[in-house]
Structure 1
Amino acid sequence: MIPLTQNPTPEVELWVETREDVELTHKAELPTVSTWQTWFKIWLSELKPTSSPIGRYEVNLLLTDDVTIRQLNATYRHQDKATDVLAFAAQETEIPGAQTIYQTAPLPLGDVVISVETAQRQRHDAHYSLTQELAWLAAHGLLHLLGWDHPDDIALKIMLEQQQQLLRQIDLTF
């Protein structure tokens, strides 16, 4: 049997948006778009998803503030509080004709939303860089887009170990 994807290294189209009103205490620590692109490509190579028949994926990353992430969390998770990261998987529902569309187009994995404000607070408490915290949260969000979850302590431990592995792949560790 021949594998569906002919490309051993998955490709990713990453759309990164940083809200203009996000206040950064350390702007120099915010990864560039090309850095995010590299990280997601490395992570997808490590995770080896097989859902795209051509090995191409699309991810949207929004770096925002506590107000926006709180609104999203209240609307979609019914939790009226800010959080560090949310992931909205695009593949949770079936799309008619998707098999035909994604023979030539990237498969959308979904959206990862990170509160930079919360990330800044968390990293100050733990004494590591904002870049490390943002990468940690982005890896967590990507795992959720790929179907990972942590409904119990055992699943959480496995997922956190996978996040550590993804950070090692980009030479960032805690």
Structure 2
Amino acid sequence: MDILVAFDYRKEDLEDMPIQQLAQYIIAEEQKPFTTEVSITFVDNETMAKLNSQYRGKSGPTDVLSFECDSVEDDLSATLLPQNPVYELGDVVIAVDVAEAQSSEFGQTFQQEIELLLVHGLLHLCGYDHIVDDEAEIMEAREDELLKRWRNEICK
């Protein structure tokens, strides 16, 4: 797996967090190929507001955006051998200041909020959504399950 992390903003607050390890864990748990590539970028509010406007038609910054890549669709068998091409999962962009504000609002640490947003963004790339209530329940349950195992079993 190739996890590309870009700290475009507040690198000093993020670089010691296990971003790559958590992304690898989620991708493995979602049974994506070992040739999977994903990028994760941390940005300021201005950059996120531009992306949110450009791609969602909404004003102001949001906490996380996910951008799927054009990759292998349903048949992953072509990506199961080492000589096969990269499976480009997509890009996750996280607004650091929004995450920090939400961590206070929701009563968790900054790192916990970053982890939640990362998992949320990656699950979007894996096909989860929350537009309708039934899908939201499934996605939130999966987020909770993965984060609980990550924090209780993997991070110890």
Please give the range of the TM-score, normalised by the shorter of the 2 chains: 0.7 to 0.9
Deviation (angstroms), 1:147: 1.3
C-alpha distance in 1, partners of 2:31/2:116?
Answer: 19
Give ranges in structure 1 of 5+ residues lacking alignment.
1-11
- Contact persistence 2:2–2:37 (CA under 8 A): yes
Contact kept, 8 Å, 2:42 with 2:94, in 1: the verdict is yes
Give the distance between the partners of 1:111 and 1:59, measured in 2 at CA.
Answer: 6
SS of equivalent to 1:170? helix
Tell me the CA shift for residue 92 of structure 1: 7.0
Distance 1:149 1:103 in 2: 32
How far residue 166 of structure 1 moved from its aligned partner, in angstroms, is 1.5
Change (3 A) 1:160 1:31: farther
Q: Work out the number of aligned pairs and report it.
A: 146
Give the aligned partner of residue 23 of structure 2: 40
Residues 71 and 88, structure 2, Cα contact 8 Å, conserved in 1: no
1:29-65 deviations in whole A, cap 9, x for unaligned? Answer: x2537x212111111221113xx4xx32111000111
Match of 1:74 in 2: 53
Cα RMSD, aligned residues only: 2.4
Distance 1:131 1:91 in 2: 30
Q: Corresponding residue for 1:85?
A: 64
Deviation at 1:105, TM superposition (A): 3.2
Aligned match for 1:61, one of 33, 37, 40: 40
**Where does structure 2 lack aligned partners over 5 or more consecutive residues?**
none
Q: Percent identity?
A: 32
Q: Shift in Å at residue 170 of structure 1?
A: 1.5
Q: TM-score, normalised by structure 1?
A: 0.75
Q: What is the Cα deviation at residue 106 of structure 1?
A: 2.4
Higher helix share: 2
Q: 4+ residue stretches of structure 1 with deviation over 4 A? A: none
1:132 aligned partner: 112
TM-score normalized by structure 2?
0.83
Cα distance in 2 for residues equivalent to 1:71 and 1:103:
38
Question: Secondary structure, in 3 states, of the residue corresponding to 1:119?
Answer: helix
Residues 42, 169 of structure 1: 8 Å contact kept: no
